[in-house]
Amino acid sequence: MSINKTPTGNHTIGHDRPLFEQDIDSYKAKEKLSEPTVCPQCGAVYHAGRWQWIEPPSNADSQTCPACHRIKDNFPAGFVTLEGPFFNTHSEEIKHLIQNHALHERVEHPLKRIIAIENQAIGNHQGSSMLVTTTDTHLARGIGEAVRHAYQGELKVNHVSGENTVRVQWSR
């Protein structure tokens, strides 16, 4: 697995996970939300400092969560591109793996969601590719790692410094 980064004096923490101190996410709340707050679109509740899948209290404030906001604006944080001859013959199987991985993540993390899965044609007779867009950078990276773990291949992760965006490419 190769990981491409565009560092600008940032530090690395954990397992090749860059710490980007200057990343800006306009979808993140500027100030702490009052608790509890419920998202009117998906029903997630902001409680104990994070969004959760719990029953909303009757006295909850209402505010759209960052994931629903990104989905409404069609402004992904993660882009996963899958392609190659192996992908062309196993695309449906890989799509099911991606959907299962995203569902598993969403159970614990309401802000980790797939925005869209789109098949894209590549030239004449060269096959196709798939573009998966996500509301969260960690979900995009996790999808790429899950596909690489299941099917090997080459995985590239590019996090753009100063932006809350990740581009993941897998091919085989």
* pLDDT tens per residue, range 33-65: 889 999 999 999 999 999 999 999 999 999 999
Q: Whole domain around residue 49: which residue ranges?
A: 27-66
Percent of residues, the chain, with pLDDT higher than 70? 80
114 shares a domain with 53: no
pLDDT mean over 93-114: 97
pTM above 0.85, yes or no: no
Domain final position from 66, 97, 122: 66
Structural domain tally of the chain? 2
Residue 131, phi then psi, degrees to nearest 5:
-115, 120
pLDDT digits (tens, 9 = 90+) for 5-38: 444 334 333 445 454 444 556 676 667 888 999 9
CATH number at residue 147: 3.30.70
90 shares a domain with 159: yes
138 shares a domain with 85: yes
| The pair of three-digit structure tokens given for residue 172, joined into one six-digit string | 């085989």
